[in-house]
Structure 1
Amino acid sequence: MRKRSARWLWAALCLPGVGCTTIVGLDNPYHPIEEQGSGGGGGSGGGVESGSRCVGLPVTCGPTADESCCASELVTGGTSNRSNDPAFPATVSDFWLDRFEVTLGRFRAFVDAYPGSRPAAGAGAHPRIPGSGWDAEWEERLPPDREELLKGLFCDSEETAWVWTDEPGANERFAMNCVSWYMAFAFCAWDGGRLPTEAELGYAAAGGAEQRPYPWSASADEETLDRDHAVYACNGSDVAGCVIEDVLPVGSKSPQGDGLFKQADLAGGVWEWTLDWYGDYPPDCVDCAVTTGGTERVMRGGGWRSAAEALLLSTRDHRPPATRAIGIGVRCAREP
């Protein structure tokens, strides 16, 4: 795969008792972010709820806390350049993409149903990508029971900015974090959807053929980014370090930060897992994904602790699929 540049994305931070560290990519110091190049659309088909799993959940999402957290918006298919690089065009069919990143409130229902919410073999498949469903060999990558699942929702690190709480509370509208790729896949399959492909998520964020640098950009050349558009770089906190108080409810920057198809937080918030293994972009891409041969899965969009450059549509990042981190979450796709 041709790479125009690889640079270190960072912004200085200082942590009490620790000293200075950096915000880079997925929030780990000195992690390289690969920028895949540089650089017209469609409209939304109107929102729907993602499925019966949302019955009974309070309508508390969006900028005024009066939208369904399960809302999904139609992405009208077409062709755009992956990572805004004309060397890598891709075509996607129409699909629905959740308006919001999966919240703690939505994820709590999955946890309450566990282990009955574990996916069956073949579940969560993209209907036009053979072999994209749940693989029975991944079973051991999921906790065996609810007790073990709960232990893992506090991440695999000493960081404390996870959003999970054992009882419902103030975090229910936050994007669920600390979920591995396997858990993200399992949730979307249980929720009646699937993980979006990298091509799909990139298409939605770029506004299709408009090739927006950011989801909210008015043109391919407009790169305005400020606190009205996205949650990033610790939300501009004046606290010495990134803390849970820097997290905001999903859709807080809507509608200013929405993409063409009305999804919120396609840049900033949390990094979002995609179906794809990280690797070279497949050529002649029509409803395609990299489903074999990798060791790390692609994530898109930047997160609440990421530097501004990580939010650009030209940026990719990737992690081993077992990774659980406070900067990673999920958004589900589904069929029209």
Structure 2
Amino acid sequence: MLLDSFDWVTIPAGFFWMGTNLEVDQVAAADDWAKLVELPQHKVSLPSYQISRFPVTNAQWVQFLAHSNYPWADRDKLWGHGLPKGQENHPIVWVTWHDAVAFCKWTGVRLPTEAEWEKAARGIDKRLYPWGNHAPTSQLANYDKQVGKTTAVDAYPQGKSYYGLFDMAGNTWEWTSTIWGTDTHNPEFRYPYQADDGRENMDNPDILRVVRSGGWKYTPSLIRCAYRDWNKPHVRGSGLSFRVVAF
């Protein structure tokens, strides 16, 4: 069963600090976008949950397609000759938010909220990056086109998060369940994060959704734990993937 193929990490119940403190994060302090969408830093308390240690891989996506008959729009264009050789353990990319939700429904899991994603990435010590507070290097993450494509999901053990998750910075952007809104320049739901204020409504198929993690193309400033951005739910890209949470 596909559900058994996930390496679950249990995130304990309790609070963490979500968002950015500009007095500590000098990268964010120089970024107008961070000032707009990452403030204020605030406490968020979450119940215990399980999240996948790695993003969903090509190999897992193959199983999904084979057993679900899901009509993946890019299958012929991208995988006309089958799963890319040697990339079984790379994150699946070219998936829309709707593709990710379909995978979750079939598998019996769900997308993480952005609060769950951020706690899993940074833990409870307010760290700026999954591995700590020092700047990214090529030994810690895949970013800034240094590799020029995705890498295997376990390629950066030194870049693991507080709780031992991989690829929480760089490699691919990751879809979350959280609503951004309708205005690309202004999130409808600002901080403090409040899970019951409508931002976790899964029923609107067209509204912008929050993405996290940055990707292999992007600069170091975009792979901080607190960095948040949006994407259209029908968009797919070469650096856009997801990980999952158990019900």
Q: Which residue in 2 is equivalent to 1:106?
A: 60
Pick closer, same or farther for the CA change 1:288–1:206 going to 2, 3 Å: farther
For residues 230-259 of structure 1, what are the alpha-carbon distances to aligned partners after superposition, in whole Å with 9 as ceiling and x for unaligned? Answer: 11112x24xxxx4xxx321111001x1111
Q: Which residue in 2 is equivalent to 1:311?
A: 223
Q: Find the partner of 1:210 among 125, 142, 145.
A: 125
- CA drift of 1:54 comes to 5.4
Is 1:266 aligned to 2:168, yes or no? yes
Whichever residue aligns with residue 154 of structure 2, its letter is: G
Q: Which residue in 2 is equivalent to 1:53?
A: 2
The separation in 2 between residues aligned to 1:190 and 1:173, in whole angstroms, is 21
For residues 68-115 of structure 1, what are the alpha-carbon distances to aligned partners after superposition, in whole Å with 9 as ceiling and x for unaligned? Answer: x62111111221232235544321111111011100000001111233
The separation in 1 between residues aligned to 2:105 and 2:11, in whole angstroms, is 19
Pick closer, same or farther for the CA change 1:192–1:166 going to 2, 3 Å: farther
Radius of gyration: which is bigger? 1
Task: Looking at secondary structure, tell me which structure has more helix per residue.
Answer: 2
Pick closer, same or farther for the CA change 1:165–1:271 going to 2, 3 Å: farther
The question of whether the paired residues in 2 share the 8 Å contact of 1:54 and 1:106 is answered with no
Q: Find the partner of 1:291 among 200, 203, 218.
A: 200
Pick closer, same or farther for the CA change 1:106–1:312 going to 2, 3 Å: same
Q: Which residue in 1 is equivalent to 2:44?
A: 90
User: SS of the counterpart of 2:51?
Assistant: strand
Pick closer, same or farther for the CA change 1:182–1:224 going to 2, 3 Å: same
- CA drift of 1:289 comes to 6.5
RMSD (CA atoms): 2.4
The worse-fitting range, judged by mean Cα deviation, of 269-278 and 285-294 is: 285-294
Whichever residue aligns with residue 111 of structure 2, its letter is: L
Q: Which residue in 2 is equivalent to 1:15?
A: none
Q: Which residue in 2 is equivalent to 1:223?
A: 134
Whichever residue aligns with residue 95 of structure 2, its letter is: V
% same residue: 26
Q: Find the partner of 1:281 among 190, 212, 217.
A: 190
Is 1:196 aligned to 2:118, yes or no? no
- CA drift of 1:223 comes to 2.6
Q: Which residue in 1 is equivalent to 2:150?
A: 247
The total of aligned residue pairs comes to 218
The question of whether the paired residues in 1 share the 8 Å contact of 2:57 and 2:88 is answered with yes
Q: Which residue in 2 is equivalent to 1:80?
A: 16
Q: Which residue in 2 is equivalent to 1:257?
A: 159
Pick closer, same or farther for the CA change 1:154–1:89 going to 2, 3 Å: farther
